[in-house]
């Protein structure tokens, strides 16, 4: 029994290691192809894999109360338009772009918006709630906003963000670093009385 286990362990150790993104990408390709072949129930797995990313992208761009409905709309749209996806391995970047476009469409419609001023942030006490931190993040430039929300709200790692959004790992690292620097500055500026 122990000899069989040792043999199995040796086989596993000698097999080439594949990166998680490659495995996830091959799962993604299989799921996309299955859905296109008529197995629509497989789309639920794509939803499980990518809903946190879509949620994070939207959370960085639209009011929190609108996010859940928009996530559902985006996945329904993606299911209907899946046949237009040219490369099954690009499902993540494709649905990320749909989410970004839907967020822009949200603001193009005739919705009333309230402008947030710096003075509103200065009037707040230095002890920040998660909502206040998210509000500060949402005032950062778009590239930093999205990567920070995906990292800290959705819990995705830098490599996961890169793999799912189609950004390069270097771009994600730079966006996270610069975004954190700007966020610290905003938190510091808000915490200091003027």
**pLDDT at residue 57, as a whole number:** 93
**Using an 8 Å Cβ cutoff, are 35 and 56 in contact?**
no
Assign 10 a pLDDT band (cuts: 50, 70, 90).
Answer: very low
DSSP state of 1: -
pLDDT tens, position by position, 78-136: 999 999 999 999 999 999 999 999 999 988 874 555 555 555 545 555 556 777 888 88
pLDDT tens, position by position, 20-54: 445 666 899 999 999 999 999 999 999 999 999 99
Question: Does 192 have pLDDT greater than 90?
Answer: no
Q: What residue segments make up the domains of the chain, in order of their start?
A: 22-109, 117-194
**pLDDT at residue 127, as a whole number:** 58
Domain 22-109, CATH: 1.10.1740.10
Burial class (CB in 10 A: 0-12, 13-18, 19+), 96: buried
**pLDDT at residue 1, as a whole number:** 46
**pLDDT at residue 112, as a whole number:** 53
In terms of DSSP H, where are the helices of 37-141? Answer: 43-59, 64-81, 91-108, 118-122, 130-137
Q: In this structure, which topology does domain 117-194 adopt according to CATH?
A: Arc Repressor Mutant, subunit A (1.10.10)
170 compared with 2, residue with greater pLDDT = 170
pLDDT tens, position by position, 45-82: 999 999 999 999 999 998 888 999 999 999 999 999 99
Name which of 118-122, 161-165, 182-186 the model is least confident about: 118-122
Assign 143 a pLDDT band (cuts: 50, 70, 90).
Answer: confident
**pLDDT at residue 24, as a whole number:** 61
Residues 39 and 80: their CA atoms lie apart, in Å, by: 13
């Amino acid at each position: 029994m122990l000899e069989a286990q040792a043999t199995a362990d040796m086989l596993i150790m000698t097999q080439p290691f594949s990166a998680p993104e490659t495995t996830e990408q091959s799962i993604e390709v299989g799921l996309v192809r299955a859905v296109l072949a008529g197995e629509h129930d497989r789309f639920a797995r794509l939803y499980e894999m990518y809903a946190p990313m879509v949620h994070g992208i939207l959370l960085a761009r639209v009011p929190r109360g609108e996010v859940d409905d928009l996530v559902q709309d985006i996945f329904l749209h993606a299911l209907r338009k899946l046949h237009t996806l040219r490369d099954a391995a690009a499902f993540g970047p494709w649905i990320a772009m749909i989410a970004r476009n839907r967020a822009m469409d949200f603001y193009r419609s005739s919705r009333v918006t309230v402008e947030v001023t710096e003075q509103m942030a200065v009037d707040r006490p230095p002890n920040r709630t998660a909502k206040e931190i998210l509000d500060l993040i949402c005032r950062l430039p778009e590239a930093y906003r999205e990567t920070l929300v995906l990292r800290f709200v959705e819990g995705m790692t830098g490599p996961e963000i890169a793999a799912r959004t189609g950004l390069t790992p270097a771009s994600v690292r730079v966006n996270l670093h610069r975004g954190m620097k700007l966020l610290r500055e905003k938190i510091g500026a808000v915490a200091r009385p003027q």
